[in-house]
Structure 1
Amino acid sequence: MSETWEWLLTSPLSMLLLTLLAYRVGRQVQTWTGGHALAQPVLVAILLVAPVLTFLDIDYTDYRAGAELIAFMLGPATVALAIPLHRQAHRLRGFVVPMLVAVLLGAAVSITSAVLLVQVLGGGDVLARTTAPKAATAPVAIALAESAGGISALAAVLAILAGILGAVAGPAVLTVLRVRDHRARGLAQGAVSHGIGASRMLADHETEGAFAGLSMGLTALAMSILLPLLLAVLL
């Protein structure tokens, strides 16, 4: 019996099933609440999976190995965001230059504000280098933080946290600020909350989701270019 229980705790299939079930519950909660902002499936899944791993004393490394298939599928899922963008390609007319300028400025402000906030709160250089790429999608944030001398694991947590917070609060903030252009809303959301925010915008409006996906990719590129330059100046 103990051998069976140990196998269940370490089996990749168990970790994969746990993750999928938690996300399915998150989708159901989202449906029950009528799509409430706080009922983000990713957030609900995290709140379900984390206590289970803690209670069963499952190491994160074992969990990640079991859920590797889902992590692998993030790549194709990100590429699939190009499909709604292709359908909305006609909306790029007259918007390319303002979009590129906005993405570059947004990336610069994100990096600078993160570093300055850490410094104001008394954090060290390592924490600043870890926090700076938070607006990039998680794989890019991990790589950038590691190359900049930060903590890659913490960078992943911060990137996911930024994505969840953006998906929960982003659309409401844009509405309060009276940003009504669907392209601008998607661009802003994708720049700060990457894939999680893009999926939220895609559920709300196809144009917003398409531009959020485009913004996510462009922001990751802008971060890769600007991060070493701005860190050299700020630190």
Structure 2
Amino acid sequence: MNALSMAWAAVVAHPLFLIGLTLGVYQLGQALYERTRMALLHPLIVAIALLIPALWLLGLEYPVYRDAVFPLTMLLAPATVALGVPLYHNLRRIRQYFWPVMISLMVGGLFVTILTLLLAWLLGADFTMLMTLAPKSLTTPIAMAVAEQVGGIAALAAGFVMYTAVLGALMGPWLLTVTGVTEPSARGMSLGLAAHAVGTSRALEEGDETGAFAALAMSLMGIATALLLPVAVAVWFMF
């Protein structure tokens, strides 16, 4: 191995290289998205599409990448908490819609979870896969914890969460527009319930009120599912 190859190997092995690579491809996606406003060029989608082949070409396994970018992962929780800012700014509006919010949460949350389980069961999924799919509309940390608690696979649940987020960010606003849903609060609730944090990020692009209701829906959906899904599974096994 010559000096150039050794130097390159040392650069790739440094944790800051993968952090820089991650931030770089995301910023590229952000620039493309701001210029085109195409849903397919959402920064998250671009980052995934570029990172996977980059890691393959570099010969790096996912555990190596995961450990290297752990500092970025740690920022996920503070970033999620920061979504409380638009909630605070729209508290008066949220109080006006207290009962519609609660009803939307119950109906929408139950529909999302039950329809997912029903379709997976009809397609032949076993119990482990069903419990892995059940929390797919929650944020990643909550979904992984809930999936593990009810007998699912935490790592696979994280993958389903990401798929749901990307699909929701791509299709959600278009479906809401096609079906005539124009009220910011309704659009926000829909995106937050179905596509959690990425849906909330997409909702914030439409306005502060839309983002606030999306953050509210995402938070309430996470709390309700984390509390009720394990109870529902336990009751199911009792009968």
Fold similarity call, TM over 0.5: yes
Are the counterparts in 2 of residues 115 and 132 from structure 1 also a CA contact under 8 Å?
yes
What amino acid sits opposite 1:19 in the alignment? T
Deviation, 1:93, is 3.0
Aligned ranges 1:189-208 → 2 under 5 Å: 189-208=191-210
Match of 2:15 among 7, 12, 16: 12
Cα deviation per residue 1:93-130 (whole Å; 9 max; x = unaligned)? 33112212211222222221121111111111111110
TM-score under structure 1 length normalisation: 0.94
What amino acid sits opposite 1:44 in the alignment? V
Are the counterparts in 2 of residues 108 and 226 from structure 1 also a CA contact under 8 Å?
no
Match of 2:46 among 44, 47, 71: 44
Q: Would you say 1:30 and 2:33 are equivalent positions?
A: yes
Kindly name which structure, 1 or 2, has the bigger radius of gyration based on alpha carbons: 2
Residue matched to 2:185: 183
Cα distance in 1 for partners of 2:233, 2:114 equals: 8
Residue matched to 2:24: 21
Cα distance in 2 for partners of 1:123, 1:224 equals: 22
Are the counterparts in 1 of residues 94 and 213 from structure 2 also a CA contact under 8 Å?
no
Cα deviation per residue 1:180-206 (whole Å; 9 max; x = unaligned)? 111111011001111111111101211
CA RMSD of aligned residues (A): 1.5
Are the counterparts in 2 of residues 112 and 230 from structure 1 also a CA contact under 8 Å?
no
Aligned ranges 1:216-231 → 2 under 5 Å: 216-231=218-233
**Contiguous gaps of at least 5 residues in structure 2:** none
Cα distance in 2 for partners of 1:130, 1:184 equals: 28
Cα deviation per residue 1:71-93 (whole Å; 9 max; x = unaligned)? 11111111111111211112123
Cα distance in 2 for partners of 1:179, 1:9 equals: 48
Deviation, 1:17, is 0.5
Shift in CA distance, 231/112, structure 1 to aligned 2, threshold 3 Å: farther
TM-score under structure 2 length normalisation: 0.93
What amino acid sits opposite 2:14 in the alignment? S
Question: SS in structure 1 opposite 2:75?
Answer: helix
What amino acid sits opposite 1:118 in the alignment? A
Residue matched to 2:64: 62
Identical-pair percentage: 38
Cα distance in 1 for partners of 2:182, 2:39 equals: 18
Cα deviation per residue 1:9-42 (whole Å; 9 max; x = unaligned)? 3321011001000100100110221x12222100
Are the counterparts in 2 of residues 82 and 213 from structure 1 also a CA contact under 8 Å?
yes
Are the counterparts in 2 of residues 195 and 216 from structure 1 also a CA contact under 8 Å?
yes
Q: Would you say 1:85 and 2:87 are equivalent positions?
A: yes
Cα distance in 2 for partners of 1:232, 1:117 equals: 21
What amino acid sits opposite 1:154 in the alignment? L
Are the counterparts in 2 of residues 115 and 234 from structure 1 also a CA contact under 8 Å?
no
What amino acid sits opposite 1:140 in the alignment? I
Residue matched to 2:124: 122
Cα deviation per residue 1:158-183 (whole Å; 9 max; x = unaligned)? 00111111111101111111111111
Cα distance in 2 for partners of 1:46, 1:39 equals: 11
What amino acid sits opposite 2:98 in the alignment? V
Higher relative contact order (CA 8 A, sep 6+): 1
